[in-house]
Structure 1
């Protein structure tokens, strides 16, 4: 499930997915920044440009190159601001295409041994009315597309093992 709402000039994307692996395996995969490229559509040209440790930690800075539109790439810098082992981590944009980007990654162990993942992204687009128009014309679609791609990729990667 993917949902995007707007309140007070801030957009919020919420996505949930259940994957057929235990929490410790899900945490091991998602807390490794190097796995982000595996779950991002290849047409975005996503590439980590900094050296990263194996696991996310509070204060970690990660730099990327990413295509925001066909033929237009940008640098993106995020900081992992909070981490609670096997529970959640939060990344925030320090430099990049958004005016503000705050991404919460939550993980919940399910009674059947699966893991429920919840993403909540709060973001603000620059350029006022033009930014809102861009949200309507392509940003919303692009973000939903990224999470739809992730959903399908994770279904294949974990649920069909």
Structure 2
């Protein structure tokens, strides 16, 4: 299962997922470049290989990085943006990613309305396209968010 990650330059699968592929069917890995995660830390990367990907009804043969990541896989801009048929359309209202003219169904995992919180920037800021920025934010919280409550004793 891939997470669509428009901030990832490359498509990545977790090393644990790669290791679950039967050895005789695993693509051979070759040396790859060093990649940095969202926080700027370097990813512990194994290598890269050409994989046969099945994204719902869409079949792709793509070069994919194998690295130690938390997600099972990250679907990066190399697939979402740079394909010959133009960029993918992520249609949240329909729960699909349209890629190569094919609608790939998407599901949202691990979120329900009780865990969604509004996040607001503390100041106005302009973040240029194709860039990232770390900014201060306010997060709306609820009393039942699991924040430890201090016990007052006499």
TM-score w.r.t. structure 1 length? 0.27
* Structure with more helix by fraction: 1
TM-score w.r.t. structure 2 length? 0.28
Task: Flag the structure with larger Rg.
Answer: 2
